[in-house]
Amino acid sequence: MIWAEQGVKGLYKGWGPTVIGYSLQGACKFGLYEFFKKFYSDLAGEPFGTDYKTLVYLAGAASAEFVADIALCPFEAVKVRVQTKPGYAKGLTDGMSKFIAAEGFGGWVTNNTLLLHSLLPSSSLQFFFLCS
């Protein structure tokens, strides 16, 4: 359907926001996981931090994922609009400025609530089981 309506260009719409958004998400997720893991371990103290390190690691994964998803959401919102609303924008730069002008900087929250609710638990658990 995309090929018939938009040709080859239609297959590449939204690649800029996707690349930048998921790069930021990955950097935040992996970079902040170690930070939050140490932060919560130090906060909990020696006996709790070592006895219940599973909970500490899960809290670190969830916190890192939360920040990472917040970094991703504005780019995901622009990507969806570029892909689904013909003529909305050519790419990231004009799409982000149009999005912020129309809905404000906080507009991505209302548009990506479901994304946050699905990514946070699943990615936190996945990250926890793979990295602990």
Q: What is the pLDDT of residues 23-73, one digit of tens each?
A: 999 999 889 999 999 999 999 888 887 888 888 888 998 899 889 988 888
- pTM score over 0.95: no
DSSP state letters, 42-107? HHH-HHHHHHTHHHHHHHHHHHHHHHHHHHHHHHHHHHHHHHHSTTS-SSHHHHHHHHHHHH-TTH
Q: What is the pLDDT of residues 96-113, one digit of tens each?
A: 888 888 888 777 666 667
pLDDT confidence bin for 115, thresholds 50/70/90: confident
